[in-house]
Structure 1
Amino acid sequence: MSLIPPPPAGSNALRSRAYNRSLVLRHVRATGASGRAQIARESGLSTQAVSNIIADLVAEGWLVEAGKLSQGRGLPAMQYALDARAGLALGVEVRPEALLVAISDLDGRILFSHRDRLTDAAPATVCEKLRQIKEMAVAETGADRLIGAGVVMPGPFGVTGLSGAASDLPGWAEEDALARLAQALDLPVIIENDASAAAMAEMVSGHGQGLGSFACLYFGTGIGLGVIAERSLLRGARGNAGEIGQIAVPHRGQFVALEQIASRFALRDRLAATGEEAETSAALEALFLARNPVLMDWLEDAGQALSHAVLTVENLYDPDTVIAGGALPEPLLKALLARVALSDRSVANRPGRAHPRLICGTCGPLTATQGAAALIINHAFTPRMAAEI
């Protein structure tokens, strides 16, 4: 099944050449390899227009010849495939305590990854570190065809009534983040919240492949929600859709914000109150395997809180499935999901389901970082960015 939805039909007269280039690239990427006639037939372009575009894309290194295919009568048709190294994407995830960077090719394969601990997540510090890491990455991989950078960070973006949460990045709400990051990286930049980027990663290379609608619960510092509807991100008016960490859930006779109970920082604070430090996933996993009593109590509380959150997500968005992933080690995440009670009073409780209601994601700790790179790759094959390719 194609990972990319069918493109709109092209036009030889009314559409720009850049738009039509993107249609050809999208089709070749979706099919793996195609001939001129097939591309023309499915894009709505003339065979001559497709031939001209393919000639340009081959000359520029985007497409390569992939052998000939016999299709009945006539001469075998030359097939063209995407060169996955023709363009590379930089993915960046900024957390209050860490900076994660990856470079992926056009097929989503990770060519470079790096994690740097942050003691200061202010814009000046983050931008300088990113500049240095980019230089290191280019030197190590020879990544000289970076087409853009996707940068993801915890929401909400801008000054809102939710400002001041424990997952906030200091100094970024008042910053022109897009301009600052583009200058530091010397690349076109797309900014997205971390949960939406995680959903994008699952759509491109995880359990979301082939699904039209699904939700992604993302454990970063707090908890976010990315929603894919008809294979597109649901962003909201200001890119702040999915702040599920702020919904109220019952806890010990009162209502509190979900992320005050079920997030990584809530677990960290509980452990710190008993003198236990667990700043890394490896440390959390070790405590889980040792059945640390504080962590085990957190699992029970977090499971109950997430039960209410998942029910809310199902009844609001009617997703094919809810995928959970992020900065929790896999054994701990699986144990948490096993404690989530799926309600019968849900639109997701129906016969003939094709997918489980709640599953563990496949992309791991780099989910949002991979998603950041996927944002660039996805945009590179759409008309709105065709002129930048």
Structure 2
Amino acid sequence: MKAISGTNLEQAKSHNRRVVIEAVRTNGPLSRAAIARMTALTAQTVSNIVEELERSHLLVPAEAQKLARGQPIIPYSINPAGAYSIGLELGRQRASGVLTDLSGAVCARIERHVKHPDPQRAMPVLQSIVEDIQQAFVFDRNRLLGVGMALPGRYADGGITSLSPQNLPGWQDFPVGHELEQRVKVPVLVENDATAAAIGERLHGVARGLSSFVYLFLAGGGGIGAGMFLDGHLYKGSRNNAGEIGHIIVEPHGKLCSCGKRGCLDRYISPTVAYEFMGITNAEELSSDDLDARIAGGGEGLDAWLDQAVQPLRQTLDFLELAFDPQTIVFGGSISTSLMRRLAERLEPLHVPIDPNRTRSVPRVMIGMTGKDTAILGAAALPIFSETNPRFDVLQKPVG
């Protein structure tokens, strides 16, 4: 159980509030006394924050539990209806939106066809999805935290300003977040798809409660990237471009990559390469069931891809473990679930770790969210993460 240290400084009230929410979200239901022990906050500070969060409907009390002696205790849990978020995704032929509650459950979904989704055509569609999805589910609009959008792209100085040209031509240097926020009149957060998916995995998936992990995002229509949490911090690098592991050279003088280098990881293990080996040219147009059926019949093409993919991937996992010492490495992405499992199974045996006698609480490799909803659910997690995750730029005290 990971303890998060709070601080009793008055100016850190917002941080402490987030620490309490994180403690309950990760380990709840928790009593006030348990929250105080876990966060190193005083009993009075915890009591004040819990009362505030209960009034705000972010925490809900359960029935009091009678003890053998002393006062009954009241456990508190996150209230799913306490806040909502909208996630958006834009593909080659469709735009999608989901409305999720504070627990990550999908409350409403809208999908619309967009032919040739350049900004002029797509922005009005994205705006209509945000507006219409709020009509599709009955909830208090004042509890909408904002809109998240996950994009396959790199950062410029002011944030993501372009989608990857290979994925959606016409979006180069278009300020997606700013333009959408002007249209929908609620906060809009934009992240690259790998980071968004890692946030979603930490809030609602197999990485819940972990402080250090690397999330490998295999995009169904593209390459591979990584999102990283290190010691509880979301790590994005000095220019927010950390995690571009698809361009690590794993085969000197190997296959030519779109980035101009040779032997990049992308050219060996990306879903695009897998589909090329199996002769699948329309993966984005297939349903999950149809794609799984094609993969199940992949035969020699699938085996050939796995044979050439596993050693570069083992090499990459070894590098990530040595460089960042994560608790685990999570595989996920919009790649087919069956293809992900075949790849993970073929990875064994992994390279011997530098500390083979280390006691592990979780496996070295885990499979997280997969399938076509991965990016959009990660996008929906962005406003929730922004509002509830502890802010580590505020002073913290060690626990114990």
With the length of structure 2 as denominator, give the TM-score of the two structures.
0.78
1:285-339 CA distance string (max 9 Å, x none): 2222223544443333333442333233233222222221212221121112233
Aligned equivalent of 1:277 = 282
Alpha-carbon deviation of 1:87? 0.6
Q: Does 1:184 align with 2:183?
A: yes
Aligned equivalent of 2:339 = 332
Alpha-carbon deviation of 1:119? 3.9
Alpha-carbon deviation of 1:268? 4.5
With the length of structure 1 as denominator, give the TM-score of the two structures.
0.80
Aligned equivalent of 2:376 = 369
Aligned equivalent of 2:129 = 133
Tell me the amino acid that sits aligned with residue 381 of structure 1: T
8 Å Cα contact 1:206-1:363 kept in structure 2: no
Alpha-carbon deviation of 1:259? 1.8
Q: Distance in 1 between matches of 2:72 and 2:344?
A: 52
Q: Does 1:237 align with 2:233?
A: no
Tell me the amino acid that sits aligned with residue 332 of structure 2: G
Aligned equivalent of 2:150 = 152
Q: Distance in 1 between matches of 2:230 and 2:330?
A: 14
Counterparts of residues 61-76 of structure 1 (less than 5 Å): 61-71=57-67, 74-76=70-72
Alpha-carbon deviation of 1:243? 0.8
Q: Distance in 2 between matches of 1:339 and 1:19?
A: 43
Alpha-carbon deviation of 1:117? 5.2
Counterparts of residues 161-240 of structure 1 (less than 5 Å): 167-220=166-219, 221-240=222-241
Q: Distance in 1 between matches of 2:5 and 2:277?
A: 49
Alpha-carbon deviation of 1:132? 1.9
**Bigger mean CA offset, 219-228 vs 104-113:** 104-113
Alpha-carbon deviation of 1:126? 3.3
Q: Distance in 1 between matches of 2:355 and 2:332?
A: 20
Q: Report sequence identity in percent.
A: 31
8 Å Cα contact 1:225-1:244 kept in structure 2: yes
Alpha-carbon deviation of 1:171? 4.2
8 Å Cα contact 2:334-2:370 kept in structure 1: no
Q: Distance in 2 between matches of 1:168 and 1:153?
A: 10
Return 5+ residue gaps in structure 1 as ranges.
385-389
Query: Secondary structure at the residue paired with 1:257?
Result: coil
Q: Distance in 2 between matches of 1:186 and 1:35?
A: 38
Structure 1's 44 and 270: CA in aligned 2 closer, same or farther, altered over 3 A? closer
Structure 1's 123 and 302: CA in aligned 2 closer, same or farther, altered over 3 A? farther
Q: Distance in 2 between matches of 1:328 and 1:262?
A: 11
CA RMSD of aligned residues (A): 3.5
Tell me the amino acid that sits aligned with residue 146 of structure 1: L
Tell me the amino acid that sits aligned with residue 383 of structure 2: I
Alpha-carbon deviation of 1:82? 3.3
Query: Secondary structure at the residue paired with 1:111?
Result: strand
Structure 1's 66 and 249: CA in aligned 2 closer, same or farther, altered over 3 A? same
Tell me the amino acid that sits aligned with residue 278 of structure 1: A
**Bigger mean CA offset, 87-96 vs 237-246:** 87-96
Q: Distance in 1 between matches of 2:35 and 2:228?
A: 31
Structure 1's 345 and 123: CA in aligned 2 closer, same or farther, altered over 3 A? farther
Tell me the amino acid that sits aligned with residue 190 of structure 1: L
Q: Distance in 2 between matches of 1:331 and 1:263?
A: 15
Aligned equivalent of 1:92 = 88
8 Å Cα contact 1:192-1:239 kept in structure 2: no
Alpha-carbon deviation of 1:73? 5.1
Query: Secondary structure at the residue paired with 1:323?
Result: strand
Structure 1's 40 and 82: CA in aligned 2 closer, same or farther, altered over 3 A? same
Structure 1's 113 and 10: CA in aligned 2 closer, same or farther, altered over 3 A? farther
Query: Secondary structure at the residue paired with 2:191?
Result: strand
Counterparts of residues 212-361 of structure 1 (less than 5 Å): 212-220=211-219, 221-250=222-251, 255-269=262-276, 276-279=281-284, 280=286, 281-340=288-347, 344=351, 347=354, 352-361=359-368
Structure 1's 98 and 68: CA in aligned 2 closer, same or farther, altered over 3 A? same
Aligned equivalent of 2:394 = none
Structure 1's 40 and 104: CA in aligned 2 closer, same or farther, altered over 3 A? same
Alpha-carbon deviation of 1:269? 5.0
Alpha-carbon deviation of 1:193? 1.3
Aligned equivalent of 2:99 = 103
- Which of 36, 41, 45 in structure 2 is aligned with 1:44? 41
Alpha-carbon deviation of 1:241? 0.8
8 Å Cα contact 1:167-1:222 kept in structure 2: no
Tell me the amino acid that sits aligned with residue 265 of structure 2: L
8 Å Cα contact 1:245-1:259 kept in structure 2: yes
Alpha-carbon deviation of 1:118? 4.8
- Which of 11, 17, 25 in structure 2 is aligned with 1:15? 11
Aligned equivalent of 1:387 = none
Q: Distance in 2 between matches of 1:25 and 1:140?
A: 28
Paired residue total? 376
Tell me the amino acid that sits aligned with residue 250 of structure 1: E
Structure 1's 50 and 258: CA in aligned 2 closer, same or farther, altered over 3 A? closer
Query: Secondary structure at the residue paired with 1:101?
Result: strand
Q: Distance in 2 between matches of 1:115 and 1:188?
A: 21
Structure 1's 350 and 362: CA in aligned 2 closer, same or farther, altered over 3 A? farther
**Bigger mean CA offset, 87-96 vs 163-172:** 163-172
8 Å Cα contact 2:103-2:204 kept in structure 1: no
